[in-house]
C-alpha cells in the first residue's frame, strides 16, 4: 500500500506561510496585489478565476478583477495588460487561459512584464528556469517539487521520468527535476516502448491528459507516482480521476498523489507563493 501524498494539506501549509509573509509586509505598510484578467465566460475558467481570487483573500493579498467580453479585440487586451504593467500597485498579472478563438495567446503572454508574470509562462521566465536563474516558475510543476520535498522524497540522483512535454507542465517539470539533480527522461506520444522507460523511474510524473492511462504495468515497485491529470470519470459524473489508474498503481507504488486532492490544489498555492515571494 502506497503512502498518500496529501496535496490539500500541503497546499494549505503553503498558503498559510504566504499569509504570514503578507501580514509581515502589511506591518511595513507594503501591500500585495494580483490582477486577474478573464476574457469571455468559459465556465471552467470562471471557476479557476474565482478560486484564485479566494486564495488571494485567504492570504490577505488584494485581487483586482478584469473581465473582457469574448468579442473584445487583441488590441484591447494588450492595452489592459500594458496598463497593469505600468501600475506600480500591481505585483502580479494573470491572464486566464485558454483565450477565446481569435486571440493570439503567445503574444498576450509575451506582453506581460516578466517580473509580474506570476504564471511563469513568459519566454524570459522559461529561459531563466532553463539556465538556473531566479524567476517565476510555472505553478503546477513548482507545486510538484513542493509535494516531493514536503513528503521527504529524495530527488538527487534519482531516476525521474516525466510523461508529457507541454510548455506548462512537462518541459518546466523536467527542468526543475534537473535543477534538483535528478536524472531526467522526458517521454511523449512518440516514445517507443513507454512502459520500458517508465518502469525505470524512481519518481514517475504523469501529465499526458489521458484518463487512467498509466496502470501498474508501467510502474516499478516502490516508485513515487505523481499524477498531474484531472478528468471527469464520465461526462455525466462529478467523480474525478487522473492520468494514473489509481486502483491499479496504488498497491505497488511507494508514494502516490490522489486525484482529487493531490497536485490540483498545489497550482493555486504556488501562484500565491509566486505572488508573495516576488516581494522578497
The interface region with ligand GUN, picked from 5-13, 17-25, 89-97, 197-205 by CB under 6 A, is 89-97
Q: Which is nearer to ligand GUN, 96 or 273 (CB)?
A: 96
What is the total count of residues that contact ligand GUN (CB under 6 A)? 7
Nearest Cα neighbor of 165 from 155, 177, 173, 154 is 173
206 vs 269 by CB, closer to ligand GUN: 269
For ligand GUN, the closer of residues 11 and 96 by Cβ is 96
* Catalytic annotation present for 52: yes
Q: What is the smallest separation between the CB atom of 160 and ligand GUN, expressed in angstroms?
A: 22
Based on the residue annotation, tell me whether 215 is a catalytic residue of this protein: no
C-alpha span between 69 and 280 (Å, rounded): 35
249 and 215 Cβ atoms separated by less than 8 Å: yes
91 is a contact residue toward ligand GUN (CB under 6 A): no
Binding mask 99-138 for ligand GUN (x = CB under 6 A): --------------------x-------------------
**Segment 254 to 273, residues that bind ligand GUN, using CB under 6 A:** 267
Catalytic residue among 21, 52, 212, 255: 52
Residue of 119, 202, 227, 245 marked catalytic: 119
Give catalytic status of residue 41 as yes or no.
no
Q: Nine-digit cell at 81?
A: 495588460
Q: 7-27 vs 264-277: helix axis angle to the nearest 10?
A: 20
Of 178, 58, 34, the closest CA to residue 119 belongs to 34
Residue pair 110/123 in contact (Cβ under 8 Å)? The answer is yes
Interior CA angle at 98 toward 94 and 103, to 5°? 95
Look at residue 237 and give its three-state secondary structure: coil
Compute the least distance from the CB of residue 88 to ligand GUN, in Å: 22
Binding piece for ligand GUN, criterion CB under 6 A, among 81-89, 91-99, 152-160, 176-184: 91-99
CB 41 within 8 A of CB 125: no
SS3 44: helix
DSSP run (H or E) holding 49? helix 43-59
- Contact with ligand GUN (CB under 6 A) among 4, 97, 178, 216: 97
Chain residues that interact with ligand GUN, rule: CB under 6 A: 94-97, 119, 139, 267
User: Annotated active-site positions, please?
Assistant: 52, 96, 119
Amino acid at each position: 500500500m502506497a503512502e498518500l501524498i496529501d496535496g490539500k494539506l500541503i497546499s494549505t501549509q503553503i498558503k498559510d506561510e504566504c499569509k504570514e509573509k503578507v501580514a509581515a509586509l502589511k506591518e511595513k505598510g507594503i501591500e500585495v496585489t494580483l490582477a486577474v484578467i478573464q476574457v469571455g465566460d468559459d465556465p471552467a475558467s470562471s471557476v479557476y478565476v474565482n478560486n484564485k481570487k479566494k486564495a488571494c483573500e485567504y492570504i490577505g493579498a488584494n485581487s483586482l478583477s478584469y473581465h473582457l467580453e469574448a468579442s473584445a479585440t487583441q488590441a484591447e487586451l494588450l492595452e489592459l495588460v500594458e496598463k497593469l504593467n505600468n501600475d506600480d500597485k500591481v505585483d502580479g498579472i494573470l491572464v486566464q487561459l485558454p483565450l477565446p478563438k481569435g486571440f493570439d495567446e503567445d503574444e498576450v503572454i509575451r506582453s506581460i512584464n516578466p517580473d509580474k508574470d506570476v504564471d511563469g509562462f513568459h519566454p524570459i521566465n522559461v529561459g531563466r528556469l532553463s539556465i538556473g536563474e531566479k524567476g517565476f516558475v510555472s505553478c503546477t510543476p513548482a507545486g510538484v517539487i513542493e509535494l516531493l520535498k514536503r513528503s521527504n522524497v529524495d530527488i538527487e540522483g534519482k531516476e525521474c521520468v516525466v510523461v508529457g512535454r507541454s510548455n506548462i507542465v512537462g518541459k518546466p517539470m523536467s527542468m526543475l527535476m534537473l535543477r534538483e539533480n535528478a536524472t531526467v527522461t522526458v517521454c511523449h506520444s512518440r516514445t517507443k516502448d513507454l512502459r520500458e522507460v517508465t518502469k525505470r523511474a524512481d519518481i514517475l510524473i504523469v501529465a499526458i491528459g489521458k484518463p487512467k492511462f498509466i496502470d501498474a504495468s508501467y510502474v516499478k515497485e516502490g516508485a513515487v507516482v505523481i499524477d498531474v491529470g484531472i478528468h471527469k470519470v464520465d461526462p455525466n459524473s462529478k467523480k474525478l480521476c487522473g492520468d494514473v489508474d489509481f486502483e491499479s498503481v496504488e498497491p505497488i507504488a511507494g508514494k502516490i498523489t490522489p486525484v482529487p486532492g493531490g497536485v490540483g490544489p498545489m497550482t493555486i498555492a504556488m501562484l500565491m507563493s509566486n505572488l508573495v515571494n516576488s516581494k522578497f
